[in-house]
Every structure is written in structure tokens, then in C-alpha cells.
Structure 1
Amino acid sequence: MTPAARIAATVALLTEVEAAPRRPADATANAFFRERRYIGSGDRRAVAERAWGVLRQRLRLEWHLARRGLPPTPRLLLMAYLLLVERWTREEVLQAFPGGRFNADPPDPGELATIAALDGAPLQPPAMPEGPRLNLPDWALPGFRSRFGEELPEAAAAMDGSAPLDLRANLLRGTREQAAAALAAEGITAEPMAFSPWGLRVPDRRPILASRAFTEGLIEIQDEGSQLIALLTGARPGMRVADYCAGAAGKTLAVAAMMGNRGRIVACDVSATRLEGAAKRLRRAGVDNAERHLLTAGDRWVKRRAGQFDCVLVDAPCTGSGTWRRNPDARTRTDLRDFEELITKQRAILDSVSGLVRPGGKLVYATCSVLPEEDGVQVRNFLSEHPEYEAVPLAEAWTAAFAPAAPPVPPPGSGQWMELAPHQHGTDGFFAAVLRRKA
């Protein structure tokens, strides 16, 4: 593709993302490229990276356009991105929109005026308010400020970056060392993680899905923070475990490996599509101690299995604010109303599943959020309403997860529960609290 054709494809991709505001951008992008198989891998990567750059900087770009009374159209957003982020000149932007077959149409008068106004302008001028300056939506600012305090600028800057490629060695197929060796044989360098005993980090983005290590189930793609949530379940062979909000079963896979395929784990979710995707992943990983359960309205599954589980993992639906460097479109896909509805849903889920845990068993509540209202506040409210539960301090839960051996490294934090953030731990932002039902 010519440079101008790549620009046209980027506008087309951003247009499709805009047309499906409630759909994750990566799902839209996957469908976009499936329908355009004629786009080569190098061009596909260039188009996707630039589109993701626009989505990552969208709050700032929108502010620049809004102060000029302009709508955030895909074309204007891309033009602003080229000028403000990639630091193109006015002439270079005009050359990228030449019109003609396979190219984007030339700028109209309004776009020409915008290009001229933004040429050479700073991305973050002094007049920019705190929200767009930190690249955080206004509704989330109070929560970020409460969580990070003086570290807020550093935490926000880390959310601005791109996420690493994290892998988990599947212990049902081999050790972490064997997984690293298999990747190295395919020219992929992977380094052990700081905290996860199964984790490998690939310094650069590589086509892992096509590797033999992946297709043969030796590795799974999973952020280190997500791996640590599975670790805190302390799952052991022979236990009965429920992964209540399993999704596509990323944590189910990790917990099943901890159990050595002995015992029983139930992956529950409200989405039949996600559970079908989970079935494929479970087969590839060699998991045979898992079953799936579709949660439906009026479902009596929870009541019928009261007190039957040694551990229940609730990876609750949340804003995903801890994953915004990985899913930058979620910054603008989620709003205050969503946030409030999610808090209500989290509370209802915790109330519902509390009866599943046997006396002496554990309930692990987790989110991929850094907002206190979804995390510590939610847990404190639950404990105040459920005196039959008590919090297990992170240090104790961490030690128990590695028992009978001693933990190879200290836990990631010293508080009551695990609170991860990119600038502190190099992971996505995750929260996990281990709660024990009193015997």
C-alpha cells in the first residue's frame, strides 16, 4: 500500500470503530481486516498501530477539536493525530489526503482551517484541563486521584503507554523453562516475570498465535496481573472451584493447571459465545477437569450448590480502567452511568455467590479496575454486610498460594489486598481480595 492508501485504510477502520461505540475496538479491527485479506501484514500492522494511536490520544484530540467547535470525525481525529502526536507538517498532511482511487478525499475547507490551526501546536498546551491532560475521562478522575494521590501523574502516564506481551506457561503441557525454550526455537525471546511463577514476557510484539508453542497449548496469552489473581485462589489438586465470571476462561485455564487436572472447576458466565470460546481454549490446553455453566435469568444453580466449593473466584465485570493502555478505546466507551451500573452489579454478584463457599473456604473478588469504588470500597461494604466472611491479608494469601514451599519473591504490595498498577508493577491495573468464610 502507498502511504496515502494506508491513511485511507486508517480512516476506514476508525469509521467502523465509531459506528460500533459499544463494541471493543479490537473486535471491530479483527472483522475489518478479515474482510480485507488483500491488506498485507506490514500494512495491516501500520494501519492498526496508527488507529490505536488515535484511540489512545482521543480525549486530547477531541479537546483540540471541541475548542474550535468541530466534531470528532474519524478524518479530523486522524489529521489532528498526525499533526499533534506524530508531528507532521501541514504540507505532509495535505499530501496524505490526495483523493483519487484508494486514497482519502482531499480536505474540505473546514478541515483545511483545522490543519492550519494545529500545524506546529503542542499536544498538551497550558490551557488543557486536567482530564485530557492526564488522558483520563472526567468521571474517572476522582477515583484515580483517590487511588494514586501524588502519584497520579505517573500512574496516568503509565496508562498512556502500550502494554507488554505477557504469556503464561501451561503447566499441564510443560514447565516455564520448556515454554521459553520452545519459543526461543521459533526465534521468540521470552523472559521470566517478576512475580508470576508461570509468567513469560516478550519484549516486543510478535505473532504468538501462529507459534507452535501456542497452537500446541504450551502457552497462553495472559497479563501477569491476571495470572496473580489465579495464583491467589491457592487452588490445589482435588479441590472444587468455581470461576463465576469466567468469560473466555483465561483464569479457569490457570486454576486448572494449578489443580493438575484433579478436582473440579466450573466456568460460569452469562455469555454463551464466551463459553463456547472457552471450550476451544480448554481443549487446546489439555484441561479435562473443567465444566461450563451458562448463567441465565431465574437460574437456580447457585442455590442448588450452596456451600459446595472450596474456592469461588469472582472476576467481576468492571470499567476495565486498569487495562486502558491495552484497550484505549474503553476510556471513551465507558461513562458515569456505566460506572454506577457496574458498581450495583458487582455488589449483587458478591451477594449471590457468597453462599457457594463452604465454611473455611475462600471467595476471591477481583477486577481489572484501579477505581476504589469497584475495589476496596466494594469489599468493605461486602464484609460489613456478611459477618461470616473475613479478609485474608495479602501476605498471608501470598504465602498460602506457594505452600508448602516458601514464596520465591515477596508479594506485590503490603496492604490488605492486592492492588496492581502499570507504573508500580509493570502489569495491567488489577485488584484482588481474598475473603475467607469463617468455619
Structure 2
Amino acid sequence: MTPAARLSAAIEVIGTLLSERRPAADVLKEWGRSHRFAGSGDRAALSSLVYDALRRRASAAYVMGEAVGAETPRALLLGTLRLARGVDAEAIAALCDGSRFAPAPLTDDERARLADASLDAAPAAVRGDYPEWLDAPLAAVFGEARAEEGAALAERAPLDLRVNSLKGAIEKARQQLDHLSPTPGNWSPLALRIALEADGKAPPLTAEPAYLKGLVEIQDEGSQIAAILAAPPRGGQVLDLCAGGGGKTLELAALMDNAGQLYAYDDDLRRLAPIHERLQRAGVHNVQVRSPKGRGTERADVLADLEGRMDLVLVDAPCTGTGTWRRNPDAKWRMRPGALAERMKDQAEILDAAVRFVKPGGRLAYVTCSLLDEENVGQVRAFLDRHGEFRIVPPAETALALGERGIALREAALERPEGLLLTPRRTNTDGFFVSVMVRGA
């Protein structure tokens, strides 16, 4: 496919997304099945262009004189080329020449808008490329910097790896991945970062021997930091109460050096399914997976024997995922206020459920990939009001789990009395909130 044909295809895919409000990955997969002539390079280039348009949806529409919710697919793609990729008006006009498979030629208005693309007078939600209804919640956290924080969330996410210390040291991983030019992480001593190609395409990491043999896992550095700050004790008893596919479970096991006992649970059996193969590949031996059994009122209490025994309970809570918009840009435009209220209800219930497992003197680590106070500091404050036997571990103390890097992390992150907030703009990671609480002895 020519670059012009790829642009036409991206306009078609964005049109489907706007009209049907489906996940981008599903629409792109469907497009690939119905356009068998498109090679892997074409599909990758199309995917990159579509995701860039979703990341910059508000600003791209703005420079083309349209509003989010009423914008055309063509305007989004033209604005994206100008803003996200720095293509000038003349080069865009060359792509849109009206030839076979190419978009129609630019109108005089389109050409003028592309030549004078500026966001200087745009409102914060446009400059930050986030839904307007989230402006007030983000302003409560970031104030006047909310547009800059949002803009950082509209950039492409890097490819971060975590070196599995159960299989080898970071230098071993760097040597095996030397052809990918990995660089050390900024904060996590376990992190390596792989540069993406110019169009955002990532190398086929899952085919690398280092991955297949369990030496490295794909995991954002912010997620790695969250597990480190939870500080699982070597030889202790730890419960990962929202284990999902096991990303943080694997890291906790490595941090514990396969000693002690780690329990992995998730109330959704489907989310938990991948964990078994991942544990085996990573060489983890100290994890018991506790799968939910039964439904509704008949669901068995498979964690009853853990009551009051845990040195650490990790609650990686379900949330709106605002901190992961770099990786899931379509999710921010499908998010509605009702989703926030639902997530807040879930978080409170899970935190309350975690209490019974924390022993006196034990710790409860609360983690979200959200940037919103309602899901972060607000939840911690409400929890402490309900459970007076817990107190917050000061973020300065929590950060010591990273050693000297923890001092620098505190300076970079947004520190609140309740915990630390990492963001793409501040720490060049996904957005993560981490709060650690301890139960009175």
C-alpha cells in the first residue's frame, strides 16, 4: 500500500470507530481480515496512524475547526499528520491528490488550517487531548499543569521490560538483547527500555529467546515501581488480591527470591487464566494460585485460611485506567462519568475485603493506574475513616524501597500525604498511584 492508501484506510477505520464506539484493536483486526492484500507492514503502519489519531483526537479536530463528538474522520487524520507527526501542509496535500486509493484533494480551508495549526488559544482539554468532562477532576490534581500532563498522556508509550532476577541479572538480559539497543530504566533497577521504530512499531519481543526463557517480561516501569514500593518481605506471607494475568505477581515472587509464600487471587477466572503459563516460564515456585469457585451466594471462600496471616496484601485495584491512556488511547474517549462512580464503588469494596487478611503489624498496599483523586487519595482517606486501626506509611519511608533512586523519584513524582503519583510527564512512566498502609499491632 502507498502512504496515500494507508491514509485512506486510516480514515475508513476511524470512521468505523466514531460510528460504532468499539475498541480500536477489534476494528483494526476486522479491517485486516477483510483486506487480505495488506501486508504486515501495512497493517502496522495503519495501526500506528489510527492510534496516533485517537491520542490527538481533541487537538486534531480543533486545528481543523471541528469539535470532539462532531468531527469527521478525515479532519482527525489530517490534523494528526500535522500535530503528531509534524507533516507540513504541502506534504499532506501531496498525499491527498485524489488519485486512485488516495484521499480527495485538500480544500482551501483545510490547507489554510493545516498551514496555521496552533493550539495556543485552545482550552486545556484540547491542549491535553482528554474529554472535557474530566477537566475539573484533572485540575484538582494538577492545577494549571493539567494540559501538559494530558499532552504527555497523548504521546506514544515506550516498550519497557522487567528483568526477572530469578533467571539472571540485568547485564545478562542486556547482552542477550543487545541487537535491540536496550537502555536502563530511570527508576527501577530491574527495568530496560527498548526504543520503538519511527512509526511506533515495537520489535517482536515475544519471539526473543530472552522472553521465551523467562529472563524478561514486558512491564511498564511504573508498574515495576509499584511492586517494589510495596516491599514484599523475603520469606513472608503475601497476598496479591487482584492478580489479573499475574504481572505484579511475577515481580513480587522475584523480589521475594522465591522464598516465603505468595498467594495470587482474582475474582475473574478469565483474567487469572494466563498466570499459570507465565509462572512456569518465569521459574516461580513460591506462588499458590487461588481460583474463584462457584457463583453469587454459592461462591466458595477460597481465601478463608489466609485470614489474619498476611505480612502484605497488595490491592492493584480496578480503575478507570486514566494513567494508561498512552497505551489505550481509544479508552479515554469511550470513558463516561458513570464508569468512574462504578470503579470507586469497586475499589472501596476490595479495600474493605482486604482488611481481614492483614495481620497486626502487616501492610496493605493500594495501587491504581489512575490519575484521579477520587480513585486515589480520596479512597485512602475514606478507607482510613472506616478502618481506624490502619495508618499511612509516609511516602518518604515507602520510597526507601528504591534506595537512592527513591529520593529522586519523590522529587519527580507528585507526592501527597497519602501516597506517590507517577505520571508520564513527571516520571516518564504510565500513571500509577501507590499508597502503603500498616495495621496497628
* 1:17 Cα offset (Å): 4.2
Q: Which aligned pairs between 1:101-250 and structure 2 lie closer than 5 A?
A: 103=101, 115=110, 118-124=113-119, 126=121, 128-184=122-178, 187-204=179-196, 205-250=202-247
Equivalent position to 2:426, from 421, 424, 427: 424
Moved more, 301-310 or 195-204: 301-310
Partners of 1:84 and 1:118 within 8 A in 2? no
Give the Cα separation in 1 of the matches to 2:166 and 2:425: 32
Work out the CA distance in 2 between the residues paired with 1:56 and 1:408. Answer: 31
| Change beyond 3 A, Cα 1:351–1:425 | same
Which whole-Å CA distance do the structure 1 matches of 2:30 and 2:286 have between them? 33
Question: C-alpha displacement at 1:88, in angstroms?
Answer: 3.7
Tell me the CA shift for residue 120 of structure 1: 3.0
Q: Are residue 290 (structure 1) and residue 287 (structure 2) matched?
A: yes
Match of 2:73 in 1: 74
Aligned pairs, how many?
424
Corresponding position: 1:309 with 2:303: no
Contact 2:149 2:425 in 1 (8 A): yes
Structure 2 residue 6 is matched with structure 1 residue 11:
no
Give the direction of change, closer, same or farther, for the CA distance of 1:407–1:211 in structure 2 (3 Å limit): same
Give the counterpart of 2:278 among 271, 277, 281.
281
CA 1:227–1:70: 2 relative to 1, 3 Å: closer
Equivalent residues of 1:82, 1:93 under 8 A apart = no
The answer to whether the 8 Å contact 1:134/1:156 transfers is yes
Q: 1:150 to 1:112 in 2, by over 3 A?
A: closer
**Which deviates more, 373-382 or 281-290?**
281-290
d(CA) in 1 for partners of 2:68 and 2:190? 51
Indicate the residue corresponding to 2:351 in structure 1: 350
Deviation per residue, 1:310-351 (Å, 9 max, x gap): 211111111111222232222202121111221121111111
> Quick one: which amino acid aligns to residue 132 of structure 2?
D
Q: CA RMSD of the aligned region, Å?
A: 3.0
Measured after TM superposition, the shift of residue 121 of structure 1 is: 4.3
Using a 3 Å threshold, how does the CA distance of structure 1 residues 323 and 251 change in structure 2: closer, same or farther?
same
Contact 1:170–1:220 under 8 Å retained in 2 = yes
Q: 1:42 to 1:69 in 2, by over 3 A?
A: closer
- 1:46 aligned residue: 45
Q: Provide, for residues 257-279 of structure 1, a one-character-per-residue CA deviation record: whole Å limited to 9, x for no partner.
A: 11222232222223333212222
| Residues 217 and 106 of structure 1: CA distance in aligned 2, closer, same or farther (over 3 Å) | same
How far does the alpha carbon of each residue in 1:45-83 deviate from its partner, in whole angstroms, 9 at most, with x for none? Answer: 321221111111112344567848984353443244346
Change (3 A) 1:66 1:249: farther
1:237 to 1:324, Cα distance in 2 relative to 1, 3 A? same
Task: Give the distance between the partners of 1:238 and 1:37, measured in 2 at CA.
Answer: 53
Q: TM-score, normalised by structure 2?
A: 0.85
Supply the distance in 2 between the matched residues of 1:279 and 1:384 (Cα, whole angstroms): 38
How far apart are residue 353 of structure 1 and its match? 1.5
- Seen in structure 2, the aligned counterparts of structure 1 residues 316 and 238 have a Cα distance that, compared at 3 Å, is same
Q: Output the amino acid matched with 1:46.
A: A
Distance 1:117 1:196, change over 3 A: same
8 Å CA contact 1:65, 1:71 repeated in 2: no
TM-score, length-scaled by structure 1: 0.86
Task: State the 1:189 CA deviation.
Answer: 1.5
Instruction: Return 5+ residue gaps in structure 2 as ranges.
Output: 197-201
1:285 positional shift: 1.3
8 Å CA contact 2:82, 2:88 repeated in 1: yes
Mapped contact 1:192–1:201 kept (Cα < 8 A)? yes
Secondary structure of 2:160's match?
strand
Query: Structure 1: which amino acid aligns with 2:314?
Result: L
Tell me the amino acid that sits aligned with residue 338 of structure 1: A
Label 1:72 to 1:420 Cα distance change in 2 as closer, same or farther (>3 A).
Answer: same
CA distance in 1 between counterparts of 2:29 and 2:207 reads 16
SS in 2 for 1:145: helix
Return the alpha-carbon distance in structure 2 between the equivalents of residues 70 and 391 of structure 1: 42
State the SS of the aligned residue for 1:372. coil
Aligned counterparts of 1:76 and 1:42: Cα–Cα separation in 2: 24
Mark the runs of 5 or more structure 1 residues left unpaired by the alignment: none
- Provide, for residues 132-153 of structure 1, a one-character-per-residue CA deviation record: whole Å limited to 9, x for no partner: 1321212221222121224334
